Amino acid sequence: MTAMATDDGVRTDRGALAVALAEARAGRAEGGIPIGAALVVDGEVLAVGRNRRVQDASPILHGETDCLANAGRLPASVYARATMVTTLSPCDMCTGAILLYGIPRVVIGENRTFLGGEELLRSRGVEVVVLDDPACVELMRDFVAAEPALWNEDIGED
């Protein structure tokens, strides 16, 4: 089973996840780390992003932060209606970015290959939905097996 966009488009969490997963796959095709994200506001995708550590030689462009950067400067009232959709459980940095901007809802493709700041998000009142999507798990499992050093670099480990 893979995440598929449906006729509901991004109005369903699985439809929105398909958009983020397409970003993750595009990143992998570029030689990058396959994690993607989408910022959904009022049932529309406001921006997408993907991890660009390899592509841009950047340690701060994770899927979620690249997505926020691509969304540009927004008023707090827009973040307050947003859902951050990400293929992988958000790391401490991306957790913090979600908290900074008061994004009230996070949809996560999977947290089997990496568990980030879900507990902190929930403790601060953020709704966290984990879809446990097999396609997201498979993409990361294959990547981590193929590129363990690159993956460790991305999460600050040796």
Segment near a copy of itself (CB under 8 A), from 27-35, 91-99, 107-115, 127-135? 91-99
User: In angstroms, what CA-CA distances link 81 with 14, 39, 46, 117?
Assistant: 18, 10, 11, 21
Assess contact for 53 and 61: CB atoms under 8 A: yes
- Tell me if 151 contacts a copy of itself by CB under 8 A: no
Establish whether 44 is a catalytic residue: no
Closer CB to a copy of itself, 97 or 135, in the complex:
97
Looking at the DSSP assignment, which residues form a beta bridge with residue 48?
Answer: 38
Options 18, 117, 140, 151; binder of a copy of itself; rule CB under 8 A? 117
Residue 8: count of CB within 10 angstroms of its CB = 12
Query: Residues 25-64: x/- map of binding to a copy of itself (CB under 8 A)?
Result: ----------------------------x---xxxxx---
Q: Provide the strand spans (E) within the chain.
A: 36-41, 44-50, 82-88, 105-110, 127-130
User: Which is closer to a copy of itself, CB of 6 or CB of 152?
Assistant: 152
- Catalytic one of 23, 64, 110, 147: 64
Does residue 123 belong to the site contacting a copy of itself (CB under 8 A)? no
Pairing of strands 127-130, 105-110: parallel
Annotated active-site positions, please? 64
